[in-house]
C-alpha cells in the first residue's frame, strides 16, 4: 500500500525526509495516513488548518542524560526520553519503556499511536510516551532504584497530574513505578497522581495490572461475536509473558479458551493442556526468571529455545510482546494452520505486510490502538480515583473497562462502515481515534 491522496503523500514525504532514520515512527504514521485518506477528502478544513502537519510533529521532545552508579561502584550513563506528542484532548498520557532497543524512533512511534488510542477510550487524555535504553534485566533492585531515581530527577520538571502522567510499559512494572513515584514526591513535595500503575497502598487502581490483557480479550470477544465465533473451545497462542500476555491468558482462559503457547525473547513453551497464568506470574513477577522455568512446574510441557511461536497451530493469535514481531511469513503460517483471528496486545506487533495478508485472507484482525487500549483507559480511571481521593472496587473498574472496550469495538466498526471499509477495524480505529482529536485541534486554533 502507498498513500494515494496528494496532500497526504506530500506531508508524508516531508516527514520521511526530515526523519529518514526513524523507521518505526514512519511506519506508524504511514499506516494512519493511509486510513485517513477518505476523511481528508471529505473534510477540506483538515488540509486548510494544517491538522495533519501538526499531528505528526510532537509538541515537545525531551532527551536527557541518566547517570547512575552500579553495584560495583562504576558510573553508568543511559539516555532518557519523553515525547509529549499531542495534548488536544487532555494531559499527555503514555507509558515509560525500559529496554536496550529504545531509541527516539521507537518512542515517537509509541507516542504517535498513543494519541489515537487515548482518544478511542473516550477519556480526556492526550498522547505521550517515554523511556530509556536502560535494561532492567539482570540488574539488582538497588541498581533499578538508583536508575529510576536518576531518571525522575530530570523527568519531574516536565510532568504533573495535569500536565503529563506516565505509566508502565516494557520493563516498567510495579517495582519501577514505585521508585519513580517515591523520587517525584521527594523532589516536588506534592502527593499527586503523577504516575499510573501505582501500588494499591499508595493510590493505584484495582484491575490496572490486569487491564491491558483483560481489555484485549474483551475487544477480541466482541470481534469474534460479531463474526459468529467465540473464545469457547478455541486454542490460543499468546506471544510474550509479561504484563499484557499474562492477563490476556487469564481472561482468555476464563472465557473458555485454552492458551497453548507463550514465550519470552529466548524461546517458547507449548502446553496442550493449557498454560496456567499463575505459574507465569510466579516465574515472571516473583522470580523474574526465564519462561523455560515453566518446565519445573509442568515437566510434560515443551520448551523450544529460539523457536518461532507463530509456528504453533492455533485458532486465535494474540501478539503481546513487542513491535514488528509478527511478520508476513508468520501470517502465512498462521493462515495455513487455520488461525481465524489475530488481535494485537502489543503496540504495532504486526508488520504492514502481515496485516495486509491477514485482511486479504479473511482473518479477523484487531489493531493495537483499539484492542490494547484497556490499559491506558484504566490508567485514566486511576487518575479519576486519585482526583476524587477514592478507590473503586475491582468489579467496578473491571465493569467500566469492559464497557469501554465494547464501545471501542463498536466505534471502530462503525467508522470503518461509514467510510466504505466494513470489517476493516485497523482503518476504523485510526478514523475514530482521529475524529475527536481533529475536532479539538480545530476548536483550539493554530497551536
Identified catalytic residue from 129, 284, 369, 436: 129
Q: How many residues does the chain have?
A: 447
β strands within 140-182, DSSP E: 164-167
3-state SS assignment for residue 350: strand
Nearer to ligand NDP, 3 or 432 (CB): 432
Shortest CB 245 distance to ligand NDP, Å: 6
259 CB-near residues (< 8 Å, 6+ apart): 236, 237, 238, 249, 252, 253, 274, 275, 277
From 65-73, 167-175, 186-194, 249-257, span contacting ligand NDP (CB under 6 A): 167-175
Q: Which of 340, 332, 108, 318 is nearest to 215 (CA)?
A: 318
Q: How many helices (H) and strands (E) does the chain have?
A: 17, 12
**172 to 179, 268, 433: CA distances (angstroms):** 10, 22, 26
Alpha-carbon distance 27 to 43, whole Å? 24
Shortest CB 166 distance to ligand NDP, Å: 12
Based on the residue annotation, tell me whether 108 is a catalytic residue of this protein. no
Residue 171: CA atoms inside 13 Å, Cβ hemisphere, count? 22
Shortest CB 429 distance to ligand NDP, Å: 14
Q: Which of 310, 316, 349, 348 is nearest to 332 (CA)?
A: 310
Do the Cβ atoms of 211 and 375 come closer than 8 Å? yes
319 binds ligand NDP (CB under 6 A): no
Nearer to ligand NDP, 40 or 402 (CB): 402
Phi-psi category of residue 46: left, alpha or beta, with phi > 0 → left and psi -120 to 50 → alpha: alpha
DSSP class per residue in 399-428: HHHHHHHHHHHHHHHHHHHHTT-TT-HHHH
From 30-38, 72-80, 83-91, 342-350, span contacting ligand NDP (CB under 6 A): 342-350
Site string for ligand NDP, 249-288 (x = CB under 6 A): ---------------xxx----------------------
From 60-68, 186-194, 320-328, 421-429, span contacting ligand NDP (CB under 6 A): 320-328
Site string for ligand NDP, 227-246 (x = CB under 6 A): -------------xxxxxx-
Report the residue from 22, 119, 183, 322 that binds ligand NDP according to the rule CB under 6 A: 322
Shortest CB 27 distance to ligand NDP, Å: 14
Identify residues 363-422 at the interface with ligand NDP (CB under 6 A). Answer: 372, 375
Helix axes 141-155, 174-188, angle to 10 degrees: 50
Nearer to ligand NDP, 11 or 32 (CB): 32
Identify residues 6-65 at the interface with ligand NDP (CB under 6 A). Answer: none
Shortest CB 56 distance to ligand NDP, Å: 20
166, β-bridge pairs? 94
Whether the CA torsion 264, 270, 273, 279 is positive or negative: it is negative
From 299-307, 329-337, 341-349, 355-363, span contacting ligand NDP (CB under 6 A): 341-349
Report the residue from 125, 321, 404, 441 that binds ligand NDP according to the rule CB under 6 A: 321
Q: Which of 242, 190, 198, 192 is nearest to 216 (CA)?
A: 242
Nearer to ligand NDP, 245 or 437 (CB): 245
Shortest CB 308 distance to ligand NDP, Å: 11
Shortest CB 197 distance to ligand NDP, Å: 7
- Applying CB under 6 A, the residues found at the interface with ligand NDP are 168-171, 212, 240-245, 264-266, 320-322, 345-347, 372, 375
Active site residues: 129
Amino acid at each position: 500500500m502507498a498513500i494515494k491522496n496528494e496532500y497526504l503523500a506530500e506531508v508524508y514525504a516531508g516527514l520521511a525526509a526530515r526523519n529518514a532514520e526513524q523507521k518505526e515512527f514512519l511506519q506508524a504514521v504511514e499506516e494512519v495516513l493511509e486510513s485517513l485518506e477518505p476523511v481528508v477528502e471529505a473534510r477540506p478544513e483538515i488540509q486548510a488548518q494544517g491538522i495533519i502537519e501538526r499531528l505528526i510533529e510532537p509538541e515537545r521532545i525531551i532527551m536527557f542524560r541518566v547517570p547512575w552508579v552500579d553495584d560495583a561502584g562504576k558510573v553508568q550513563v543511559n539516555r532518557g526520553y519523553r515525547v509529549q506528542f499531542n495534548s488536544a484532548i487532555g494531559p499527555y498520557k503514555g507509558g515509560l519503556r525500559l529496554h536496550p532497543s529504545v531509541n527516539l524512533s521507537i518512542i515517537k512511534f509509541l507516542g504517535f499511536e498513543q494519541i489515537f488510542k487515548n482518544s478511542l477510550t473516550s477519556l480526556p487524555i492526550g498522547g505521550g510516551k517515554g523511556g530509556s535504553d536502560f535494561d532492567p534485566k539482570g540488574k539488582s533492585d538497588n541498581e533499578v532504584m538508583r536508575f529510576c531515581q536518576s531518571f525522575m530527577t530530570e523527568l519531574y520538571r516536565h510532568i504533573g497530574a495535569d500536565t503529563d502522567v506516565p505509566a508502565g510499559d516494557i520493563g516498567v512494572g510495579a517495582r519501577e513505578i514505585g521508585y519513580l513515584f517515591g523520587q517525584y514526591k521527594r523532589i516536588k513535595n506534592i502527593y499527586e497522581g503523577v504516575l499510573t500503575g501505582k501500588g494499591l497502598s499508595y493510590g493505584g487502581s484495582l484491575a490496572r495490572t490486569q487491564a491491558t490483557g483483560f481489555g484485549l480479550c474483551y475487544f477480541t470477544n466482541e470481534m469474534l461475536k460479531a463474526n459468529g465465533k467465540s473464545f469457547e473451545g478455541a486454542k490460543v497462542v499468546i506471544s510474550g509473558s509479561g504484563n499484557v500476555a499474562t492477563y490476556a491468558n487469564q481472561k482468555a482462559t476464563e472465557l473458555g479458551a485454552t492458551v497453548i503457547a507463550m514465550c519470552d525473547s529466548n524461546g517458547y513453551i507449548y502446553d496442550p493442556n493449557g498454560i496456567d497464568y499463575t505459574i507465569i506470574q510466579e516465574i515472571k513477577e516473583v522470580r523474574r526468571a526465564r519462561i523455560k522455568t515453566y518446565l519445573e512446574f509442568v515437566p510434560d510441557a515443551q520448551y523450544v529455545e529460539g523457536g518461532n511461536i507463530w509456528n504453533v497451530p492455533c485458532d486465535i493469535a494474540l501478539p503481546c510482546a513487542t513491535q514488528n514481531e509478527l511478520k508476513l511469513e508468520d501470517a502465512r503460517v498462521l493462515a495455513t494452520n487455520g488461525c481465524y483471528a489475530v488481535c494485537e496486545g502489543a503496540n504495532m506487533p504486526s508488520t504492514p505486510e502481515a496485516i495486509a495478508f491477514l485482511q486479504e485472507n479473511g482473518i479477523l484482525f484487531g489493531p493495537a490502538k483499539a484492542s490494547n487500549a484497556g490499559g491506558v483507559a484504566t490508567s485514566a480511571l486511576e487518575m479519576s480515583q486519585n482526583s476524587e481521593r477514592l478507590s473503586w472496587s475491582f468489579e467496578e473498574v473491571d465493569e467500566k473497562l469492559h464497557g469501554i472496550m465494547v464501545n471501542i469495538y463498536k466505534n471502530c466498526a462503525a467508522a470503518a462502515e461509514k467510510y466504505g471499509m466494513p470489517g476493516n477495524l485497523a482503518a476504523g480505529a485510526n478514523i475514530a481515534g482521529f475524529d475527536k482529536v481533529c475536532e479539538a485541534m480545530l476548536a483550539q486554533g493554530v497551536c
